[in-house]
Amino acid sequence: MTSNKKKKPSAKRKASRPKDPTSAISQEPSVEPTQKATDYYAALAEVGRRSQDLMLVIDGTGSVKYANPVTLETFGLSLEEGLGTSAFDYVHPDDLQRVISQFLKLLEMPRGSIRDVVRTIAANGETREIELVSTNALDSKAVAGIIVNGRDVTEHNQYVKQLQALEERFRLAFEDNMAPMIFTDLDDRVFAANDAFCTMIGFEREEILGRDSTLFTYPDDVGIAEDSLRRVARGEIVQSRYVKRYLRKDGRLIHVEVLRSPARDEDGNILYHVISERDITDERTLAAQLSHQALHDTLTGLANRALFHDRLEQAHSKMVREGTLCAVLLLDLDDFKGVNDSFGHLAGDQLLISVARRLEHVARSSDTLCRFGGDEFLYLAEGLTSAKDAEFAATRLLEALAEPFFLSGAQIQQRASIGVVVFDASASQTTEFVQDADVALYEAKREGKGRFVFFTPTMHQQAVNRFTLIQELRQALQAGDLSMHYQPIFELATTRIVGFESLMRWHHVTRGWVPPSVFIPAAEQSELIRELGYFALREVVATAASWDAVRPDAKDLYVTVNLSARQFHDPELVSVIEQILSENSFASERLVIEITESVTLLNVTETMIVMEQLSRLGISFALDDFGTGFSSLSYLALLQPKVIKIDQSFVSPSIERPRNKILLEAIISLGHKLNMTMLAEGIETATQLERLRQADCELGQGFLWSPGVPKDEITALLTRTSDQW
């Protein structure tokens, strides 16, 4: 059965196998085929031709005696090339020794069989995996050989390996996944859960298998995903994603993000659901914290501007539906700067927190309390029926601050002023409410603080006028349209000029002369007052220094400059005054600073410190408008000014009464007992002058002698003699 055309094993294959792999196989004598054997082979050939499996017969030496078409095709051989060759030539080198061992063992097993999967090499070098069943039939009269039946399992084994790889990947992706995962059936019962999921909900796997998700779902969230699941079932969406809350076994509530995907069969029917979940509790907590920080004041915890304006818009929409009123109340702490300056900003922050708690205590739950910034608070009152309700709300807020605060061991009485705006659904621009409340707040401050004022339309125009006035005043300062006038101060006993009070004047290009009573209060509400104050100091000191050349005793003349409360508390004040005095070689003893009670009211401690620093320079102080304040006597003892200026209302009262004379004499007598110089303002008649002389008032000024004059007219005043007055 050998053929000269049979394919020889490749050199590589020959080199990798033993020289005589069948050397241990006994050589059987050739047997003359019988008719029975011939018939058997004919039948075998017929069966082999029809079979889809490999069929071959080899003799005791491993030589191929028969191979069916499937076998020849598998190894890429023709019948002539296959018959007579050694079956071991087609075994993969790595499996050869095992196959030979099995072959020898099979020879020793009459009528025995061995099953194995063997890797083979076809003529073209292709490796295949063949599952073989080899049966020993050497002693058979019909066959006399090893009958081998085989099936090519290459693709099958590859598929099995792929399944095994998939199973391994699935195990890694599911069981060992750090993301919580479960599989549920169509009734939402869990039939698989990984460790991460069990850890997340705090239940053991055995406790949840076969149970639906209501076991660990927060009661209010049961059924939360039913609508999305119906849409998935109808094919409207591929998967559903939602957030729900779980109640862990230990009772802790967690938030989870759920991604539920259906597994379908070939017909699109849902078999089960694959659910991947993520614990977002920390994210929700952080998001809530960030949201709270974005919408709340970090110091007091109250709503901030952004949240307030959002609530304001919502309140406006609600008014349209319900037909009610709303009010915006802007509250500003009076003289809060004094707390920071006296006790430090930490104490100031503690006061703001305490104020916030007090205001919260009286605020209605339906209203919104906001820290607007600095020492300002906004209050939105909703559902009002009349302006009276807003008045009641403002009263509650002010009364909340009535009791003193205790900070750093000190008792602080903190008052506040409030601007109130009441509006209905007809108001369209909600952004203007806070602006209008600020305008009303300005009026509350101007009227004396510690009170509330309702906004009126005329206030808006007044605010516009103030703003315009400030802008024009700033331009006037830059253009040189402001000037200083000087009113002489006389020694009443001799009618001799001893000094001048400086007065700021503004001549507007279109309005003419603008009274100081108009532009100074407006400037005090802005930073412009600081620039005006330093302008006055420089002009006055330079002018007073020039008087030395006019009169021999001019070096004894002093000049007064009025400083506003904001100017007086400027930290640069002392150094700027020192510089001005030095630049003009002007004696500090000739400069007198006029102050009012309002300066001290801002901050008593800081006032005393600044006064002490200026006193060391030799500068004196005059207390202006004495007798008009509510606490003048106490401030006399505290400030100890060198000069007391008696207000004009005591010198030239509108109605002459006997008690006016008594009051005037009492004021002068008090000043003398305190060793202070008394200066009467507003002297207009000789009678008033004589009365003051009789009361031993030392100094005076007024229209009886001269109004305030420009600096170029001072020479004429200084050259007059006493009898010329």
> What's the CA gap between 459 and 466, in Å, rounded?
10
Could you identify the residue written with the tokens 């008690």? 659
What type of residue is 519?
F
Mean pLDDT to the nearest integer, 672-698: 93
Least confident of 83-92, 152-161, 253-262, 702-711: 152-161
Mean pLDDT to the nearest integer, 60-72: 92
103 within some domain: yes
CATH number at residue 263: 3.30.450.20
Are the beta carbons of 644 and 622 closer than 8 angstroms?
A: yes
Beta strand segments in 323-430, E: 325-333, 368-373, 376-384, 405-407, 410-412, 416-423
Specify whether 342 is located in the same domain as 482. Answer: no
308 within some domain: yes
User: How many structural domains comprise the chain?
Assistant: 4
% the chain with pLDDT above 90 = 53
Specify whether 127 is located in the same domain as 276. Answer: no
pLDDT of residue 720: 85
Phi (first) and psi of residue 680, to 5 degrees: -90, 135
Q: Sorting pLDDT into bands at 50, 70 and 90, what band is 151?
A: very high
pLDDT one-digit tens code per residue, 576-621: 999 999 999 999 999 999 987 666 555 667 778 888 899 999 999 9
Using the predicted structure, report yes or no on whether residue 156 has a pLDDT greater than 80: yes
Are the beta carbons of 705 and 686 closer than 8 angstroms?
A: no
pLDDT of residue 14: 38
Mean pLDDT to the nearest integer, 53-79: 92
Specify whether 664 is located in the same domain as 605. Answer: yes
pLDDT of residue 634: 67
Angle at which helices 516-524 and 457-479 cross, to 10°:
100
> What's the CA gap between 680 and 645, in Å, rounded?
6
How far apart, in Å, are the Cα atoms of 703 and each of 149, 648, 708? 140, 12, 9
Specify whether 27 is located in the same domain as 103. Answer: yes
Specify whether 276 is located in the same domain as 333. Answer: no
Specify whether 330 is located in the same domain as 190. Answer: no
6 within some domain: no
How distant is the alpha carbon of residue 168 from its chain centre? 46
How distant is the alpha carbon of residue 696 from its chain centre? 69
Specify whether 390 is located in the same domain as 485. Answer: no
pLDDT of residue 17: 39
Q: Domain end: 433, 455, 477, which one?
A: 455
Are the beta carbons of 291 and 273 closer than 8 angstroms?
A: no
Could you tell me which of 582, 641, 584, 576 has the C-alpha nearest to residue 607?
641
The angle formed by the CA atoms of residues 643, 523 and 330, to the nearest 5 degrees, is 110
Are the beta carbons of 484 and 538 closer than 8 angstroms?
A: no
Determine which helix (DSSP H) or strand (DSSP E) holds 274, and give its type and residue range.
strand 270-279
For residue 269, the enclosing domain spans 177-285
The angle formed by the CA atoms of residues 288, 291 and 297, to the nearest 5 degrees, is 120
- Strand 620-626 and strand 591-595: the pairing is parallel
Using the predicted structure, report yes or no on whether residue 16 has a pLDDT greater than 70: no
Using the predicted structure, report yes or no on whether residue 656 has a pLDDT greater than 80: no
Burial of 161 (0-12, 13-18, 19+ CB in 10 A): exposed
Using the predicted structure, report yes or no on whether residue 346 has a pLDDT greater than 60: yes
Mean pLDDT to the nearest integer, 239-256: 93
Q: Sorting pLDDT into bands at 50, 70 and 90, what band is 463?
A: confident
Are the beta carbons of 185 and 263 closer than 8 angstroms?
A: no
Question: What HEC string does 669-700 produce?
Answer: HHHHHCCCEEEECCCCCHHHHHHHHHCCCCEE
461 within some domain: no
pLDDT of residue 342: 77
Q: Domain end: 455, 480, 505, which one?
A: 455
Specify whether 612 is located in the same domain as 536. Answer: yes
Using the predicted structure, report yes or no on whether residue 335 has a pLDDT greater than 90: no
pLDDT one-digit tens code per residue, 124-136: 999 999 999 999 9
290 within some domain: no
Residues facing 128 on adjacent strands: 120
Could you tell me which of 397, 376, 407 has the C-alpha nearest to residue 299?
376
CATH number at residue 375: 3.30.70.270
CATH number at residue 543: 3.20.20.450
**What are the tokens at 364?**
């209605």
> What's the CA gap between 602 and 21, in Å, rounded?
115
Using the predicted structure, report yes or no on whether residue 547 has a pLDDT greater than 50: yes
Residues facing 591 on adjacent strands: 559
**What are the tokens at 406?**
């205790």
pLDDT of residue 599: 63
State whether the Cα torsion 188-193-199-200 is positive or negative.
negative
Segment 462-466 long-range contacts (CB within 8 Å, at least 24 positions apart): 463/439, 466/442, 466/522, 466/525
Q: Domain end: 250, 285, 320, which one?
A: 285
**What are the tokens at 136?**
């020993």
Specify whether 190 is located in the same domain as 153. Answer: no
pLDDT of residue 29: 37
Write down the H helix ranges in 202-297.
205-208, 226-233, 281-295
Specify whether 144 is located in the same domain as 219. Answer: no
Specify whether 413 is located in the same domain as 533. Answer: no
**What are the tokens at 724?**
């010329």
pLDDT of residue 521: 85
pLDDT one-digit tens code per residue, 80-98: 888 999 999 999 999 999 9
**What are the tokens at 491?**
């020694």
Specify whether 264 is located in the same domain as 401. Answer: no
Of 571 and 69, the structure prediction assigns the larger pLDDT to 69
3 within some domain: no
294 within some domain: no
Could you tell me which of 653, 702, 698, 665 has the C-alpha nearest to residue 679?
698
pLDDT one-digit tens code per residue, 470-512: 999 999 999 999 999 999 999 999 999 999 999 999 999 888 8
pTM of the model: 0.54
% the chain with pLDDT above 70 = 91
Write down the H helix ranges in 370-515.
387-400, 431-446, 457-479
pLDDT one-digit tens code per residue, 693-713: 999 999 999 999 999 999 999
> What's the CA gap between 218 and 201, in Å, rounded?
11
Mean pLDDT to the nearest integer, 15-31: 37
pLDDT of residue 363: 94
291 within some domain: no
